[in-house]
Amino acid sequence: MKKILTACIALALAMPVFAQKMIRNYSFEYVDALGKPISWAPQNSDGKYAFSLDTLVARTGKLSVLIKRKPDTGPEKTIGLCNTLITRALLTGKKKITITAYIKTENVTEGVASIWMQLNGNGRIVADKNSDAHGISATQDWTQHTIELPLSEEVGSIGFGCKMSGKGNAWFDDFEVRVDGVLLE
């Protein structure tokens, strides 16, 4: 009984350490009980895009995120995003953030697949950037995309992720985040 009580106390003391471990999931390999990628959320305000984890197409590992325009959703231009967040604790005193990811497309028309990031501070957007100018369309194999922005003390968080506009399929995998050149793991 004493061994069980000791084990329970040790586990209880260790819980805060485990609870603080952030799962970044930049290659989408970790999923929750519903099969959704941990630490990522789709944004689809008009319901025109479908988001899923693809088990057949991945650059590395077993999974990638697939964003595709739903059929018969009309001609209006719109976007589908899948994003995650970095909090201020990792940014204090830092000068630059660089986001890199790989994108693969199939039959993308009337738009592009790209990555994006937004620096947020005190209820406003401090800066934002995407790779639309170098985004990919048509059918292309895995292509690396990189964007970067300078950081300042006013940045409280950074949202970033996958972006799809137009029709077709776009897969995203293997995000890397570097703050001042150091890989964030």
Please report the pLDDT score of residue 21 as a whole number. 53
Q: Which long-range contacts (C-beta less than 8 Å, at least 24 apart) are formed by 22-27?
A: 24/84, 24/177, 24/184, 24/185, 25/84, 26/174, 26/175, 26/176, 26/177, 27/60, 27/61, 27/63, 27/173, 27/174, 27/175
Which uninterrupted H or E stretch holds 11?
A: helix 2-19
- Please state the rounded mean pLDDT for residues 123-141: 95
What tens digit of pLDDT does each residue of 98-126 get?
999 999 999 999 999 999 999 999 999 99
Residue whose C-alpha is closest to residue 175's, from 95, 97, 92, 78:
97
User: Residue 15 pLDDT > 50, yes or no?
Assistant: no
With bands split at pLDDT 50, 70 and 90, how would you rate the model's confidence at 18?
very low
User: Residue 90 pLDDT > 90, yes or no?
Assistant: no
CA 2 and chain centroid, separation: 46
Which uninterrupted H or E stretch holds 2?
A: helix 2-19
Residue whose C-alpha is closest to residue 167's, from 74, 56, 64:
74
Q: Are strands 49-54 and 64-69 parallel, antiparallel or unpaired?
A: antiparallel
- Please state the rounded mean pLDDT for residues 173-180: 97
With bands split at pLDDT 50, 70 and 90, how would you rate the model's confidence at 10?
very low
What tens digit of pLDDT does each residue of 32-73 get?
999 999 999 999 768 899 999 999 999 999 999 999 999 888
